Amino acid sequence: MSVSGLAELIRERQPCVALTGAGASTESGIPDFRSPTGIWARFDPFEYGAIEAFRADPRKVWSFYKPRVAMLAEAEPNPTHLALAELERLGFLEAVVTQNIDLLHERAGSREVVEVHGSIRSSTCPGCGERYPLERVLELLAEADAPACGACGEILKPDVVFFGELLPAGAIDRAFELARRARLLLVVGSTLEVHPVAGLPLETIAAGGELAIVNRGPTALDDRAALRIDGSAGEVLAAVVEELRGQEAQQPQNAR
């Protein structure tokens, strides 16, 4: 019933935009940062995830990031990523706005992906500004505990948003624009506690759109949602795709 209800909402309320958080990637074996068993419960975020900590001791921060980057690079997209990519191909999803840095939406085939917290796609030298793609960073990490710039020797910084850093302006502007345009914002695997991303659903609602939430456990905006499903995002979205397959979106997606 709720799967049918969600499929119905997606079909009727175009354009639909997805907003994904850590819960979208947990089925790929990537631990949630903020859960009680998550990474920040074991590593003090101000020692390992803050920009001040990186500036003070980048090698120490890389002792935390090195195994994490290797793990993310080996993770595979799960049914949640695949279902969202399929919804886009079918014309039912305009874009995915994600808080995740793991590149799994892109690797699943999603084309319009807005990474509001950056990603592991590249790292940048704070000294000379040279940008290094993930493959090169992994090569450097195979030879050293922290990747150093070949040109100037400084330790590279991953292009992910650290605590204390601003979100990438282009990405967050695009995310808010998409949220305002969306007649349905589909939240997947986020507890909607991290600002300013958690403000996106409120933009959608203020502009007359609706909110649907697929998440294990409660979120901060459950009482504002037109529909809410507590369960495995992968199973729910795969079932939604099955319902919508063979149908066409009511409005063309090429109107932007």
Q: How far apart are CA 178 and CA 14, in angstroms?
A: 12
- Binding segment (CB under 5 A) for Zn ion, from list 27-35, 130-138, 159-167, 205-213: 130-138
Contact between 156 and Zn ion (CB under 5 A)?
no
Closest separation between CB of residue 132 and Zn ion, Å? 9
Considering the complex, state which of residue 152 and residue 220 has its C-beta at the smaller distance from Zn ion.
Answer: 152
The yes or no reply on residue 152 touching Zn ion (CB under 5 A) is yes
149 binds Zn ion (CB under 5 A): yes
Q: Work out how close the CB of 29 gets to Zn ion at its nearest, in angstroms, rounded to a whole number.
A: 33
Which listed range, 31-39, 129-137, 189-197, 218-226, lies at the site for Zn ion (CB under 5 A)?
129-137
Which residue in the block uniquely carries the two structure tokens 């000379």? 128
Residues sharing a CB contact under 8 Å with residue 64, sequence separation 6 or more, in sequence order: 43, 48, 49
Q: Which residues does residue 133 pair with via DSSP β-bridges, in sequence order?
A: 122
Q: How far is the CB of 143 from Zn ion (least distance, A)?
A: 17
Taking CB under 5 A as the binding criterion, the range among 13-21, 121-129, 200-208, 225-233 that sits at the site for Zn ion is: 121-129
Q: Which two tokens stand for residue 66?
A: 């090195």
Among 56, 70, 128, 144, binds Zn ion (CB under 5 A): 128
Active site residue 117: yes
- Smallest distance, Zn ion to C-beta of residue 157, A: 11
* Beta carbon nearer to Zn ion, 57 or 154: 154
Residues with a known catalytic role? 117
> What residue ranges bind Zn ion (CB under 5 A)?
125, 127-128, 130, 149, 151-152
